[in-house]
Structure 1
Amino acid sequence: MQSPPFPAIVQHLTGDRTPRVWSFLISVFGDLAQAPDARISAALLRQISAQIGIRPEAMRVALHRLRKDGWIDSARAGRTSAYFLTDRGRAQSAAASPRIYGTGPGAETAWLAAFNPGQPGAHQDEAGVWLSATLLVSATRPATADAFVTPLGPGTALPDWMTARICDATTVQMAADFARALAGLRPLLDSAPGLTTLETTALRVLLVHGWRRIVLRTPILPDHLFPATWQGPVCRDGVADLLARYPKRPLAELEAARTALPCG
């Protein structure tokens, strides 16, 4: 059986829709270059982006946007530039990492809190999902005594209108599509054992990017409070399995792989 070419693997995972370039680059930096001294050369960024069909001019526009937004900065490195996360970009990447790379649910427990309907909005600083002006679902038990609070254990069955507020239909569909893509991806990868270092790196970042787009749209709550059709746990487990299969390579190794490519 002939191995599928890498573009076919990318097409299967992305559905032939190239990711938004600036968002993909955030995933690149977040996965490969969170360390304070990490630098990625412009040439390496071009090579990683090219693996999934991103054109150099689109990458340049996206880098300009990320610099303008304060996510990244650059410095000269010989005749080219090297890019790195700013303190702000690094802090935001670090804050998101536990959710992106976590192998378990965002929370194990949750509470339903009902506040005084005569004071709507009085406790809006409480973290969680507000089902109404006075009804909150949270992974943190509200500290105020001015609320009725009850735990939402694994056996709790929330009505559909509540689970729809916790996770909207668009996000549920995104997870279903991604879970389906992951299931079909495994046999493709099993028949493509000879992927290059840059190909496996681009694949890894695509996996991180695909899951990041979904998980960061959701609240930090136990899995059992999500809609019945929620495929988030399947996506989380599938991504974790593939990231272990394709571990992150040191930037020095990636730069060496990039320079070893034939010219022209």
Structure 2
Amino acid sequence: MIFTIYGDYIRHYGNKIWIGSLIHLMKEFGHNEQSVRVAVSRIMKQGWLESEKVGNKSYYFLTPRGEARIEEAAIRIFALNPKKWDGKWRMLMYTIPEEKRRIRDELRKELIWSGFGSIANGCWISPNNLEKEVHLLIKNYDIQAHVDFFVAEYQGPEKNRTLVEKGWPLQEIAEKHQQFISTYSKKFMEHQSMMDKNLMSDAECFVARTMLVHEYRKFLFFDPGLPKELLPEVWSGNDAAKLFEKYYRLLAQSASRFFEHVFREDNDIREKNEFFID
């Protein structure tokens, strides 16, 4: 949830927030001060956040690694339409020795996060342009001697969609999108009716929008964001994205107003930059 708040709000206001304001925001979701401080400490140990003291106040901001991850996530979350495919596959093959198992396990998680699918042991593919991300992973994990990376065209004997079937459980992904639609279409209609009657406070809109983004961002861990040429003709992910966009727009202004109210009390806003879907 803290990552969601940084990604959807704080990063547009200088990436830095006073711990007291963060605690205030997290209390809206039922989290107490101690749990927030413990979570922030854990996130710092993982290398996503740094802190600084100004007077007697502690401020927390994203590390360069944290900023890069948040930006990547935001691009993927708000990519509401499948991209056009250039017809090429990105293929990463590795043979990482057993004594580096931890690195191998972490690399596997990073590849899944970025949208790669596994078609064989130690062989991962993606139709998306992820050259930059792959070279950064190779550098960060210092595994140049254990990997090979290709950008290539598939020459058969099967069709490109056969690779998709090998690499990703499309049926399961579609079902998860359908579950999102089933749950959040009802919430959308309820909140739309309430807002039309001025029955939702800014704080309630903040909670609803944050929960919406928090839930939708989970797709990043199992939906690779395949180009339209490789997706089924009827794809529930398209409907889920449209619902997300409509629901987000409905809540955006009121939610941002609540965040700014809390943020402005204790933080110096250098530049106002509200985050709406273009």
* Identical-residue share of aligned pairs (%): 19
- 2:259 equivalent to 1:254: no
Q: For 1:138, give the aligned amino acid.
A: P
Match of 1:109 in 2: 85
In structure 2, the CA distance between the partners of 1:121 and 1:103, relative to structure 1 (3 Å rule), is closer
Q: What CA distance in whole angstroms lies between the structure 2 residues aligned with 1:182 and 1:208?
A: 11
Runs (5+) with no aligned partner, structure 2: 95-110, 130-149, 268-278
CA contact (8 A) 1:40 1:84 kept: yes
Matched residue SS, 2:58? strand
Q: Structure 1 residues 144, 174: CA separation in 2 closer, same or farther (over 3 Å shift)?
A: closer
TM-score normalised over the length of structure 2: 0.63
Change (3 A) 1:58 1:108: same
Q: TM-score by structure 1 length? A: 0.66
The equivalent of 2:127 in structure 1 is 138
1:71 aligns with 2:78: no
Query: Once superposed, what is the RMSD of the aligned Cα atoms?
Result: 4.0
Partner of 1:191: 193
1:148 to 128, 141, 155: 155
**Deviation of residue 71 (structure 1)?**
0.8
Within-5 A mapping of 1:31-110: 31-35=8-12, 37-105=14-82, 107-109=83-85
What is the Cα deviation at residue 65 of structure 1? 0.6
- Residues 74 and 81 in structure 1, CA contact (< 8 A), matched pair in contact too: yes
The alpha-carbon deviation at position 150 of structure 1 amounts to: 9.7
Which deviates the most, 197-206 or 92-101? 197-206
Distance 1:80 1:196, change over 3 A: farther
From 149, 163, 167, give the equivalent of 2:169.
167
Which residue number in structure 2 is paired with residue 7 of structure 1?
none
Gaps of 5+ in 1: 1-23, 260-264
* Alpha carbons of structure 1 residues 150 and 255: separation in structure 2 relative to 1, 3 Å: farther
Question: Where is the helix percentage greater, Structure 1 or Structure 2?
Answer: 2
Deviations 1:223-264, CA, capped at 9 Å, x for gaps = 4635688532222111111222222627543335799xxxxx
Residue 244 (str. 1) matches residue 242 (str. 2):
no
Structure 2: how far apart are the matches of 1:207 and 1:72?
23
Q: Which amino acid aligns with 1:206?
A: M
Instruction: Report the residue type matching 1:254 in the other structure.
Output: V
Matched, 1:225 2:230: yes
Deviations 1:102-161 (A, max 9, x none): 2212x2226476x9xxxx959xxx995343478956245x6458x527997xxx8x46x9
**Per-residue deviation at 1:27?**
0.9
Q: Cα distance 1:128–1:196, how it changes in 2: closer, same or farther (>3 A)?
A: same
Q: In structure 2, what is the Cα distance between the partners aligned to 1:102 and 1:144? A: 25
- The number of aligned residues is 221
Q: 1 CA distance for matches of 2:3 and 2:43?
A: 8
Partner AA of 1:238 in structure 2: L
CA distance in 2, matches of 1:234, 1:49: 30
**Partner SS for 2:51:** strand
